[in-house]
């Protein structure tokens, strides 16, 4: 049985995927690498349900947060905050000098379309940003409905979505829903080592970027696109990770994107039902629960450190809460390579330990 970490990133990486990184280096500006670069990006479009370009960026997900605000707003941003990772995006936006309005709800709550509508009616903004799956609380925001509200109330406003801990384990239809920028990073649901972000950018977003001042250089969508059209990047890309991405996308497409999403949905349902039956309260309200991790309020009598000692010999590890929720919640991540049998092993160990 493989070792399994039920933690929301970096997740376990399959041995063959790790091996794919060990391919010898080659010049990055030659046909052989350009071919690999292009097909890795092309294959990954299926995860985004988009016909738009996917930029492969040599940075983690936070870099894609930074790129979005730098490229899509000269000034005004509405930043939806319902946990630590969406709060990071708010801070990133402020740090980049954008005039950023925070729309914040208590930890465990979701951002609703009505809240976004009210905010947009009060103040016109160039860009709305939100985390689809808030990894610190296990809340999934209703991004589809929020996109509809933005299109109705403020059609010129762009919409950027962080799906760092959900893309590939949940269905987010970029084109059909009307999302302008959608991104993930490699070390969570995609089950790759950390260090890459995949960022889909539609034509409207690219056009807006052309008119935005001070986009910087490293994260400039316009420059990245210019090079992408030549199957390349402005800078030296993280080639070993791209070898791994190319290989992992074949594995993902072999399972099937829909089947992969269904696997995650089934595990989420199982984890939710198990914890509810046990009498352990979930942090996220019904209807807003993540498909890739289940966040449980820490039961009084449960000692996570002791439990991790208990399951270590069985090759498992469970995650603590994050940020303000550390020691107040446990996070059961069921993403990436984890399958139902793994989750059942963890739940039965939980049952044994916490009778």
Residues forming the site for ligand PLP (CB under 6 A): 9, 60-62, 85, 131, 133, 135, 162, 164-165, 185
Q: Which two tokens stand for residue 254?
A: 């072999």
The residue among 181, 119, 180 whose CA lies nearest residue 154 is 119
Q: In this complex, which beta carbon is closest to ligand PLP, that of residue 164 or of residue 201?
A: 164
Q: In this complex, which beta carbon is closest to ligand PLP, that of residue 192 or of residue 205?
A: 192
Q: β-strand 99-104 against 76-81: which pairing, if any?
A: parallel
| Residue 56 three-state SS | strand
Q: Least Å distance between CB 317 and ligand PLP?
A: 17
Q: Using DSSP, how many helices (H) and how many strands (E) does the chain show?
A: 13, 13
Q: Least Å distance between CB 203 and ligand PLP?
A: 25
Q: Least Å distance between CB 131 and ligand PLP?
A: 4
Compute the distance between CA of residue 307 and CA of residue 304 in angstroms, rounded to an integer. Answer: 5
Where would I find the beta strands (DSSP E) of 207-313? 293-297
Q: In this complex, which beta carbon is closest to ligand PLP, that of residue 62 or of residue 151?
A: 62
Compute the distance between CA of residue 6 and CA of residue 35 in angstroms, rounded to an integer. Answer: 35
Q: Least Å distance between CB 291 and ligand PLP?
A: 13
Cβ neighbors of 121 (< 8 A, separation 6 or more) are 153
Q: In this complex, which beta carbon is closest to ligand PLP, that of residue 131 or of residue 311?
A: 131
What Å distances lie between residue 241 and 22, 27, 316, CA to CA?
10, 15, 25
Contact 60, 194 (CB under 8 A): yes
Q: Least Å distance between CB 161 and ligand PLP?
A: 10
Q: Least Å distance between CB 36 and ligand PLP?
A: 22
Q: In this complex, which beta carbon is closest to ligand PLP, that of residue 160 or of residue 206?
A: 160
Q: In this complex, which beta carbon is closest to ligand PLP, that of residue 130 or of residue 311?
A: 130
């Amino acid at each position: 049985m493989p070792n399994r970490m039920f933690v929301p990133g970096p997740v376990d990486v399959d041995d063959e995927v790790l091996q794919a990184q060990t391919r010898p280096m080659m010049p990055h500006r030659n046909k052989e690498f350009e071919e690999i670069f292009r097909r890795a990006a092309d294959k990954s479009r299926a995860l985004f349900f988009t016909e738009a370009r996917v930029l492969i960026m040599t940075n983690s997900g936070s870099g894609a947060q930074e790129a979005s605000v730098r490229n899509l707003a000269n000034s005004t941003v509405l930043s939806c905050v319902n946990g630590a990772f969406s709060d990071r995006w708010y801070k990133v936006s402020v740090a980049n000098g954008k005039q950023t309005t925070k729309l914040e709800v208590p930890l465990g709550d979701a951002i609703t379309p009505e809240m976004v509508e009210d905010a947009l009616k009060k103040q016109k903004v160039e860009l709305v940003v939100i985390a689809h799956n808030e990894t610190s609380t296990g809340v999934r925001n209703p991004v589809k409905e929020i996109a509809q509200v933005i299109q109705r109330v403020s059609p010129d406003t762009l919409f950027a979505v962080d799906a760092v801990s959900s893309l590939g384990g949940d269905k987010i239809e970029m084109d059909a829903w009307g999302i302008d920028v959608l991104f993930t990073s490699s070390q969570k649901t995609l089950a790759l080592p950390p260090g890459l972000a995949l960022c889909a950018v539609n034509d409207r977003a690219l056009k807006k970027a052309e008119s935005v001042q001070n986009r910087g250089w490293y994260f400039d969508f316009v420059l990245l696109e210019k090079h992408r059209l030549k199957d390349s990047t402005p800078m030296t890309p993280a080639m070993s990770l791209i070898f791994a991405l190319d290989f992992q996308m074949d594995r993902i497409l072999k399972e099937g994107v829909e089947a992969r999403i269904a696997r995650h949905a089934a595990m989420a349902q199982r984890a939710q039902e198990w914890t509810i039956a046990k009498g352990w309260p979930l942090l996220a309200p019904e209807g807003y629960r993540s498909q890739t991790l289940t966040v449980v309020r820490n039961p009084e009598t449960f000692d996570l450190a002791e439990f991790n000692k208990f399951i270590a010999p069985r090759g498992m590890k469970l995650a603590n809460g994050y940020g303000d929720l550390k020691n107040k919640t446990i996070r059961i991540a069921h993403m990436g390579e984890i399958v139902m049998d793994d989750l059942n092993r963890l739940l039965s160990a939980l049952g044994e330990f916490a009778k």
